[in-house]
Structure 1
Amino acid sequence: MGFLTALLSFAVTIGILVTIHEYGHYWVAKKFNVKILRFSVGFGKVIKSFKRGETEFTLCAIPLGGYVKMLDEGEAQVADKEKHRAFNRQSVYKRFAIVAAGPISNFMLAIILYAVIFIIGVNGIKPVVDSVTKSGFFAQAGLQAGDELLSINNNPTPSISEFSNQFIQADEAQPLTLQVRSKHANLKTTTLNLTGDFLANPEQGLDQYLGFKFAMPKLSATIETVMPGSAASKAGLQPNDKVLSVDDQVINSWQEFVVQIQAKPIRPIKLLIKRNNTTLTLTLIPELVGDTPKVGVSVAIPKDHLKDWQVLIKKQPIDAFVSAGEKVYQLTLLNLKMIKKMIIGEASIDQISGPVSIASYAGKSAEVGLVPFLSFLALISIGLGLLNLLPIPLLDGGHLFFYVVEIIKGSPVSEWVQQTFAKLGLFVILSLTFVALYNDLIRLL
């Protein structure tokens, strides 16, 4: 089921993003009366096609992109009566607009998706400090257990997710001002003076980098549901069972149970459970899902248990679109910062993901719910739009770069220069593809 969910989610993700991107090119070209010969989602063998007007719409077998084929004298002979509708006959400004419309459509989609998310509302956990590591950045700033992190540089951080986003988007080269509410309800302001760069190694985790842990609501290790056919079902676990120990290690919370399971290799584990005032010993063998041990149970959450921990971030439509625009802008800058760091060697290229990783993340976000999937879709849409704006020949950004040169010099870039740079662009794209696939393979192994 996990594989099928990932595959379907990946297909939906790529289908939506590619269709929106190519429709941007298509819509602007139609507005300029350029003849569209084909609108294709995917490459390779045609699976499904139909013709509407003068345009053939196709769905192809390789779902890793798409294209809009326009009438162009550089690709085929054009009848005299239709030359005015050829792409190459349009002014440089019209050609620029047609090419730029694809990436812009991806950014617009991201804004719409985030606006929908803000209107629906996003549940989060308040960013409260659980413990502070000695000599870490938080300790140096005087932060203590029980402090609630209210804002970074006057930007509100109502949830852990918002705190993480605001921190990543902030300029770490400058001191960061944090507003905090202590466990005694006293407000205070403190300054974080950072060294090093979190984005150079984000895998370490924000809390580890800053030297603290977020507080989480403690849940009893009581099982609410057991998935049929799961490892837990095979072991004989039932709803309302309370886990007392794992391999003789006392379990005081659901979080401790999860940590113990994920830390164990795939081998028999001895569980001591409490069921109807009696204790039982069961043998559980976790199953590997991806690279994570899973047992197939969910936790029982008492009513109102999370009331004091949860926060709902919800906005009215106008505020939602304004906030969505700001978020897309901030994430775009963050992506540019990451690209710059990878180019100059300050961040690892291990962070480049390929189709396998994207499919995995798509499946996981879809399993969690609609809002996480929409958020993932928006994030990938920003990445796709930004990638296509990079000045790499064969990508939209490469064409836009040549059009800017054409505007400056007053004449098109020579065919020789375009072909030479196209070869360079192909090398760059193939290299990035190789790195992405290699990273995917390493993650799988």
Structure 2
Amino acid sequence: MSEYLPAFLTTDGLLIGTIVPFLFVLTIVVFVHEMGHYLVGRWCGIGVKAFSIGFGPELLGFNDRRGTRWKLCAIPLGGYVKFVGDMSVTSKPESGEDDNLSAAERKVAFHTQPVWKRAATVFAGPLFNFLLTIAVFTVLFSAYGRYVMEPTVAEVRAASPAANAGIQPGDRFVSVDGQQVETFSDVQRIVSGRGGDPLTFVMMRDGKEVTVTATPEMMEQKDALGNSVKVAVIGVVNNEELGQPRLISYSPGGAFVQAVSETGHIIERTGQFLKRFVVGREDKCQLGGPVKIADMAGKAAQLGFVWLVQLVALLSVGIGFLNLLPIPPLDGGHLAFYAVEAVIRRPVSERAMEAVYRVGMILVLAFMGFVFWNDLFGC
């Protein structure tokens, strides 16, 4: 037995090398998400019964002076905030439970609040995820700046989409698909998620603008963590001579602006990926669940703490985006019902909500099963 301990306990082992980084990343993302719900709920005057990191049996916890139970539970794959009167998946008291609430409890119960307070409380979870990503990027840009290269072409791969479109060495990208570009990474960002889509490229050549059309093709590459990923490329390469790499330093304000922009790009790319995935135009192996996240956390930890923090930022914005999808029981599903309620000026019937929630739950469970299958067998 003892001969297995080094492999389990060393920094390259399962516990310290993978499980600990995974729990670090996931706990921060979940804590920030739930703290968004909690803080805005408290600000709206809603009572909170419990704040939990994880599900299942409680491992440790305490009650604060307001009566909220703060606890850490055994299954670390999520968390929740339980508001007063919030007893079912539809955020309403279950049959008979409403009668058990005292007058004071009814005053601060979730379901008795105006629709805007309920919506703000629900939206706050994903919002705090986005703010976490912005905060991380702001710190990183302030501390390390950002390396950029000019959007120029040093080489064109033979028989590539770029070559077929007539792009030549020495050309400079002006815009891609109508979006102005300033750096070579801007070009990569736009192209990488558009495999199979004809894109219009405006190139500067000998002082004149030339417009060409190229269709990016999918290519398997290794990302910074060593994972195999499929990205769209057109087959051009930059180099130091033409790219003139330089480091951009940011003031705190400038870092914040750049962080907001970077977060916006990630949200846009995530939405683009999901739309293409639904119609079968993205590789299913790009989606993974807890096992894949744990593997990425372990690899990031080996590269250093900064890489691990970057993974926190990327996972946080992903969790925030997914939670805004209008599918019950996700936050976006609640928000969709509140939007309907605001329009018709009355709550959606309990029967209709429960029917939609059943369908939504099936979809969520199917998605979870899909990513678990990818983790363990599919990819």
TM-score range with shorter-chain normalisation? 0.7 to 0.9
- TM-score normalized with structure 2 length: 0.81
Structure 2 match to 1:315: 250
Secondary structure class of the residue paired with 2:292: helix
Tell me the distance in 2 between the aligned counterparts of 1:342 and 1:369.
32
Which string of whole-angstrom CA distances, capped at 9 and with x for unpartnered residues, describes residues 367-401 of structure 1?
Answer: 22344333322211111011111011111111111
Secondary structure class of the residue paired with 2:362: helix
Secondary structure class of the residue paired with 1:165: helix
Structure 1, gaps ≥5 residues long: 181-185, 218-307
Structure 2 match to 1:289: none
2:182 matched to 1:156?
yes
Secondary structure class of the residue paired with 2:60: strand
Structure 2 match to 1:177: 202
2:213 aligned residue (190, 193, 197)? 193
Query: Which structure has greater helix proportion?
Result: 2
In structure 2, what residue type is equivalent to 1:74? P
1:409 aligned residue (327, 338, 344)? 344
2:156 matched to 1:132?
yes
Secondary structure class of the residue paired with 1:110: helix
Structure 1 match to 2:106: 83
2:143 aligned residue (120, 124, 130)? 120
In angstroms, what is the RMSD of aligned CA positions?
A: 3.1
2:332 aligned residue (383, 397, 401)? 397
Structure 1 match to 2:76: 63
Secondary structure class of the residue paired with 2:214: coil
The alpha-carbon distance between structure 1 residues 205 and 98, as it changes in their structure 2 partners (threshold 3 A), is closer
Which string of whole-angstrom CA distances, capped at 9 and with x for unpartnered residues, describes residues 89-125 of structure 1?
Answer: 1011111111111011111111111111211225647
Based on CA coordinates, which of the two structures has the bigger radius of gyration? 1
In structure 2, what residue type is equivalent to 1:155? V
Secondary structure class of the residue paired with 1:6: helix
In the alignment, is the contact (CA less than 8 A) between 1:199 and 1:338 conserved in 2?
Answer: no
User: What is the Cα deviation at residue 143 of structure 1?
Assistant: 4.4
Which string of whole-angstrom CA distances, capped at 9 and with x for unpartnered residues, describes residues 242-283 of structure 1?
Answer: xxxxxxxxxxxxxxxxxxxxxxxxxxxxxxxxxxxxxxxxxx
In the alignment, is the contact (CA less than 8 A) between 1:137 and 1:192 conserved in 2?
Answer: no
Which string of whole-angstrom CA distances, capped at 9 and with x for unpartnered residues, describes residues 206-251 of structure 1?
Answer: 4xx312455589xxxxxxxxxxxxxxxxxxxxxxxxxxxxxxxxxx
User: What is the Cα deviation at residue 337 of structure 1?
Assistant: 1.3
2:103 matched to 1:103?
no
Structure 1 runs of 4+ off > 6 angstroms? 146-151, 199-202
1:211 aligned residue (235, 241, 248)? 235
Tell me the distance in 1 between the aligned counterparts of 2:212 and 2:75.
48
Structure 1 match to 2:224: none
Tell me the distance in 2 between the aligned counterparts of 1:118 and 1:150.
25
1:51 aligned residue (48, 63, 66)? 63
User: What is the Cα deviation at residue 86 of structure 1?
Assistant: 0.6
Q: Name the count of aligned residue pairs.
A: 345
User: What is the Cα deviation at residue 17 of structure 1?
Assistant: 0.6
2:303 matched to 1:368?
yes
In structure 2, what residue type is equivalent to 1:56? R
Identical aligned pairs, as a percentage?
33
Structure 1 match to 2:44: 32
Secondary structure class of the residue paired with 2:77: strand
In the alignment, is the contact (CA less than 8 A) between 1:151 and 1:179 conserved in 2?
Answer: no
User: What is the Cα deviation at residue 151 of structure 1?
Assistant: 7.2
Secondary structure class of the residue paired with 2:326: coil
